[in-house]
Amino acid sequence: MTARRSGPETVGGVEWPTVGLAAVIYGLWAAATYFHDRLPWPVLVVVGGWAIAWHGSLQHEIIHGHPTRSRRLNTALGFAPLSLWLPFEIYRQTHQAHHATEQLTDPAHDPETRYLPASASRLRRAAAALQATLLGRLVLGPAIEIGGFWLDEIGRVGRCEPGRLALWLGHGLAVGLIVAWLWRVCHMPLWLYGLCFIYPGAALSLLRSFAEHRADPTPRRRVAVVERAPILGLLFLNNNLHAAHHDRPGAPWHSLPAFYAKDRERLLRANGGLVYDGYGEIVRRFLFRRHDRAVYPASDGASA
* Model pLDDT for residues 235-254, shown as the tens digit of each residue: 999 999 999 999 999 999 99
Band of the pLDDT at 298, cuts 50, 70, 90?
Answer: confident
Does residue 88 contact residue 81 with C-beta atoms inside 8 Å?
A: yes
Reduced to 3 states, what is the DSSP secondary structure of residue 211? coil
Which residue from 204, 87, 56 is spatially nearest to 149, judged by alpha carbons? 87
Cβ 19 vs Cβ 12: under 8 Å: no
Asked whether residue 3 carries a pLDDT value surpassing 50, the answer given is: no
> What is the reported pLDDT for 157?
97
- What are 9-49's pLDDT values in tens digits? 666 789 999 999 999 999 999 999 999 999 999 999 999 99
* Confidence (pTM): 0.94
Residue range 135-169, pLDDT digits in tens: 999 999 999 999 999 999 999 999 999 999 999 99
Judgement on whether residues 92 and 73 belong to the same structural domain of the protein: yes
Which of 170, 185, 209 is where one domain is finished?
Answer: 209
SS3 (DSSP) at 160: coil
Q: Are residues 220 and 197 in the same domain?
A: no
Check pLDDT > 70 for residue 119: yes
Q: Is residue 196 part of a domain?
A: yes
Mark whether 204 and 224 lie in a shared domain.
Answer: no
Pairing of strands 10-11, 225-227: unpaired
Q: 53 and 78: one domain?
A: yes
Total number of domains constituting the chain: 2
* pLDDT over 80 at 8, yes or no: no
Q: How far lies 47's CA from each of 53, 139, 200, in Å? A: 10, 18, 10
Asked if the peptide bond before residue 230 counts as cis, ω within 30 degrees of 0, the response is: no
Pick 304 or 78 by higher pLDDT.
78
Distance, CA of 206 to CA of 139 (rounded, Å): 10
Question: Is 8 within the bounds of a domain?
Answer: no
CB-based contacts of 30, cutoff 8 Å, min separation 6:
none
pLDDT > 80? residue 299: no
Q: What is the mean pLDDT of the chain?
A: 94
* 20 & 46 share domain: yes
Residue 244, domain extent: 211-290
